[in-house]
Amino acid sequence: MNSMTTLKMKLKELEDIEKDVATALQSAGQVCLELSKDKPNAKQVDSNATAFVKTLQNVENSLTKHILYLTQVSTVQPHEGSSYAAQKVFHMALHRLEHARSRMNELERLRHQQQQEQQQQQQQQQQQQQQQQQLQQQQLQQQQQQQQQQASHQDS
């Protein structure tokens, strides 16, 4: 049964309930009318009151079924003739997918940022090593110059 047929059936049932409510009100009105007479007919009052109660019970039962149906639809319990549950599952899956994409993009951004920081640290370390090497070379040259100067002073 497709969802359009189910929808039409549900609407027809609601129309029938509406007619039953009108019938119940009519029976209640007849009871009140009969009771307002100087000499009410007990059988007539009893008959209309019984009809009112039976119709009211039918209305209550039918409305309870519809409320149960609507509860199933709104709580994603499987039921015939509705795609609401599937739509809700689909939308939740889309939401989870979007969240996963967002997290992946954030992780990628952090990875890229960390790589850049590592490259900068490596460059700084290389610069420090070069500076140390230059400093050591300068110190070595100064020592050599001092040794040469000392040697030339001793020769003279």
* Residue bearing the bigger pLDDT, 51 or 151: 51
Cβ atoms within 10 Å, residue 27:
20
Tokens 């100067």 belong to residue: 149
Q: Which of 22, 40, 18 is nearest to 31 (CA)?
A: 40
Calpha distance 11→6 (Å, rounded): 9
Tokens 């509406």 belong to residue: 18
Least confident of 15-19, 51-55, 83-87, 130-134: 83-87
Question: Average pLDDT of the chain?
Answer: 88
58: left (phi over 0), alpha (psi -120 to 50) or beta: alpha
- Please report, as a single letter, which amino acid is at residue 67: I
C-beta separation of 23 from 62 below 8 A: no
Calpha distance 63→134 (Å, rounded): 92
pLDDT of residue 75: 67
Calpha distance 94→132 (Å, rounded): 57
Under the banding of pLDDT at 50, 70 and 90, the label for residue 152 is confident
Question: Residue 39 carries which DSSP code?
Answer: S
Average pLDDT over residues 64-71: 86
pLDDT of residue 5: 82
Most confident of 23-37, 74-88, 120-134: 120-134
Calpha distance 154→156 (Å, rounded): 5
Kind plus residue range of the DSSP H or E element containing 121: helix 84-155
